[in-house]
Structure 1
Amino acid sequence: MSTLDYVLSMARAVMLAAALACSACALPSIPSYCSTWNPMEIECPINEDPMAIWDNLFQSKIFGQSLAGRAIHKALSRNIQKHSNYSKENWNPYYVNMLSTFLVAYENPQALKARPLFMHFSGPTGVGKSLTADIVASSMFNRHNADNRLCGKFILQMRAYSSRNPFHLEKYEQDIRRKVGEQLSHCPRSVLIFDEIQSISEQLLDSIIEIFDGSGPPLFFHPHPAPVNTSLCVVIVISDIGSTKLNPYMDREQAKQAVQEDADKKFLLSKKRALLQNIVPFLPLTEEDFASVAVKELKRLGEKLAIEYKGSWIGKLTWAKEVPRWIAKHCWSDATCVSDGGRGVETHIDHDISTIIENALMSECQNPESVSFNNIDLSISSDGNSLVAKMDSVYSDSEFREL
């Protein structure tokens, strides 16, 4: 054995002993985000078939975003395939991964600078950006804590970090690094969501990107001496940058260019803004998309009313087939509703239409000692200017007769 080989082997032995000592004296703390965590198993196990879950959730909850859906499916599928042996390699990230990280960092420092999947969701309000980010997390993880929060999902509202004061910026950088470090030390495959990224300064944007592109200092989480691995996670930043230049009929390249031009102007002095070019554009919704959202929201309203009136009403909320299109047309003619996207349709149904239905239900359920089995049917008024809710009896002498 040469002198160099001997020195290297001794260095490995010393580092291994140090890591073992640290692991024995600095056992991992229970992460604040997931009280069900067990240090002897994977903190955030990946779902068995995340892409099937993704397809089902995206298709049932998001409308008018086929371009975004295809782009995310491709990127997420590639990422999951790349890390398909994650559970085997990281059976116990605190012990196994900590030892390997020491040796990897010593022998090949560049190996720790691999980048995670980074996506920039940009588009107008109410088109499904935040919900899609939630779906990405839900497709990968299913373990929840006592507060019903998904353990593998980490979200930061960047509006809370919008000050340009240098003193505040320094505190922001430290706070974000600490929170990201804690999350990834417990769950390296986390989905990290930075919402409203357009709210922050160029300096803070660069600081955040440095955590993931390998150009900044290693990320640590006390008391563990090994650097936190930032290459296994999925990073999603959400913004409305370029949203005023988008229209429902753009192709992906046109939409990406519109967002990129505005991002370059917004963060002109940023040295890291190139990473924001991993753009997934979310286009404005069409009137037809509004009708699809209306169907989903009417179903949700029916489920909500069934819970609220449990014990006094066991019917269903039904509607004529023209009703969703009527709602879409009504919202499409309202500039405020259009600017709010699908959220505008949701608000209209939650407030205006819900009031019409509940007035009919309260009349039906006046007798506390009886239970109504009648359905409540939503239809368009004879003049076509409004919706009306009527009780639809499930039993009629003229339709059904006793034998």
Structure 2
Amino acid sequence: MAMPISGFIIATLVALVGVYMGMSIYSNYNCECCDNKRISLDVKGLEEDFKSRLFGQHIASEVILKAVKGSLSTPNPKKPLTMSLHGYSGTGKNFASQLLAQNLYKNGLTSQYYHVFTATLHFPHVQLIDQYQNDLRKWIRGNVTLCPRSMFIFDEMDKMHPGLINAIKPFLDYTNEVDKVDYRKAIFIFLSNTGGDKINELTLSFLMSGKKRESIKLSELEEELSMTVFNNSNSGFWQTTLIQTNLIDHFIPFLPLEFEHVMSCVRAELKSRGVTNESIVATIASSMVYYPKEEKLLSVKGCKTVASKVNLYF
């Protein structure tokens, strides 16, 4: 017997409700919620990653770990955590930021609360600076509204228009709310090559005088870094109110890498490919370029081209 029209409609509605409820439960189960289950710093994990995977950066490892722990453990921080990482390409600035995200968010680098802006990719045209400013403010506001524990990475700061940084200054200040949004639990990280000369110069002088790189202290570099990035017209921070008003919490140097660190990078790359061949590690590391010409103490490109070098052997 055919089902009456009214019965068919009711049955269809029940089925649809069931499907909706099933999808809702599935969605809620798989969603990335902004809570302590999905966002919680694995302190031991980050510490171990810095120790075993971020080579030659004793200052950066210590400062980042302490800064993030302090910010996240404070129920009501006075401002967002704002760090500026400096050093030449291949020293680990991007990698350190990624390790932090992997140990903070349950979804790691795929987390919807982890955002990366690259100057040459996202803000390439100077004539569109006004549009970029508006878009950037809206993007940050929208994402912090979604989750206060959002992280924003600004890469290639030395290629970024200073106006963009001034545009987000209100979000980084000592204030409870900006247009009814609280930004104090967010994390802002700036990556830049600016100051690399000073960092490399100091590191080289330590090594040439027989001292170990581990004896270099943050206090010997931090103030000079802040002055360098403020006065350098190619820094992205040039004459910005961000520095004038002391809104950068930490200027963190990434030191140039030595031969032993490049060897560690080679081992890590080989391991990621399932290869164990200690006999070729030194050979690959030696194929990199080092300076000064005679002493060959420091790697010119850090670990930047290690993967490409390994490709030549496997």
* TM-score normalised by structure 1 residue count: 0.59
Quote how far apart the aligned CAs of 1:186 are.
1.3
Quote how far apart the aligned CAs of 1:53 are.
1.9
Aligned to 1:164: 126
Cα distance in 2 between the residues matched to 1:163 and 1:277: 29
1:255 to 221, 229, 232: 221
Aligned to 1:339: 300
Cα distance in 2 between the residues matched to 1:35 and 1:209: 37
The answer for unaligned runs of 5 or more in structure 2 is 1-27, 204-212
- 8 Å contact kept, 1:125–1:339: no
Cα distance in 1 between the residues matched to 2:69 and 2:36: 18
Does residue 287 (structure 1) correspond to residue 240 (structure 2)? The answer is no
Cα distance in 2 between the residues matched to 1:183 and 1:171: 18
2:190 to 225, 234, 237: 237
Q: Per-residue displacement from partner, 1:138-164 (whole Å, max 9, x unpaired)?
A: 1111137xxx72233111112232543
- 8 Å contact kept, 1:44–1:187: no
C-alpha spacing 1:233/1:49, structure 2 compared with 1 (3 Å) = closer
Quote how far apart the aligned CAs of 1:255 are.
2.8
Work out which of the two has the higher radius of gyration on C-alpha atoms and give 1 or 2: 1
* Letter of the structure 2 residue corresponding to residue 246 of structure 1: I
2:100 to 132, 136, 148: 136
Q: Per-residue displacement from partner, 1:35-67 (whole Å, max 9, x unpaired)?
A: 9547xx646744555211211222232100011
- 8 Å contact kept, 2:85–2:254: yes
* Letter of the structure 2 residue corresponding to residue 75 of structure 1: A
| Greater RCO (CA < 8 Å, at least 6 residues apart) | 2
Cα distance in 2 between the residues matched to 1:300 and 1:120: 29
Does residue 228 (structure 1) correspond to residue 181 (structure 2)? The answer is yes
Aligned to 1:210: 170
Aligned to 1:272: 242
- 8 Å contact kept, 1:206–1:271: yes
- 8 Å contact kept, 1:163–1:200: no
Q: What secondary structure is seen at the aligned counterpart in 1 of 2:154? A: strand
Trace 1:303-382 onto structure 2 (pairs within 5 A): 317-319=275-277, 321-333=278-290, 338-349=299-310, 351-354=311-314
- 8 Å contact kept, 1:192–1:234: yes
Quote how far apart the aligned CAs of 1:192 are.
1.4
C-alpha spacing 1:280/1:115, structure 2 compared with 1 (3 Å) = same
Cα distance in 2 between the residues matched to 1:137 and 1:254: 28
C-alpha spacing 1:44/1:181, structure 2 compared with 1 (3 Å) = farther
- 8 Å contact kept, 1:263–1:276: no
C-alpha spacing 1:59/1:210, structure 2 compared with 1 (3 Å) = same
* Letter of the structure 2 residue corresponding to residue 263 of structure 1: V
Cα distance in 2 between the residues matched to 1:149 and 1:241: 29
Quote how far apart the aligned CAs of 1:212 are.
1.8
Quote how far apart the aligned CAs of 1:177 are.
1.0
Q: Per-residue displacement from partner, 1:204-248 (whole Å, max 9, x unpaired)?
A: 2111222221579925xxxxxxx2210011111111111122224
1:298 to 270, 273, 276: 270
Cα distance in 2 between the residues matched to 1:169 and 1:119: 24
Cα distance in 2 between the residues matched to 1:173 and 1:36: 34
- 8 Å contact kept, 1:137–1:152: no
Cα distance in 2 between the residues matched to 1:138 and 1:318: 26
1:74 to 47, 66, 69: 66
* Letter of the structure 1 residue corresponding to residue 170 of structure 2: E
Q: Per-residue displacement from partner, 1:146-189 (whole Å, max 9, x unpaired)?
A: xx722331111122325433xx2211111111111121111111
Quote how far apart the aligned CAs of 1:294 are.
1.0
Cα distance in 2 between the residues matched to 1:35 and 1:170: 40
Cα distance in 2 between the residues matched to 1:178 and 1:296: 39
Q: What secondary structure is seen at the aligned counterpart in 2 of 1:280? A: strand
- 8 Å contact kept, 2:258–2:299: no
Aligned-residue sequence identity (percent) comes to: 21
Q: What secondary structure is seen at the aligned counterpart in 2 of 1:183? A: helix
- 8 Å contact kept, 1:44–1:143: no
C-alpha spacing 1:35/1:235, structure 2 compared with 1 (3 Å) = farther
Trace 1:98-137 onto structure 2 (pairs within 5 A): 114-137=78-101
- 8 Å contact kept, 1:44–1:152: no
Does residue 59 (structure 1) correspond to residue 51 (structure 2)? The answer is yes
Aligned to 2:139: 179
Quote how far apart the aligned CAs of 1:258 are.
4.0
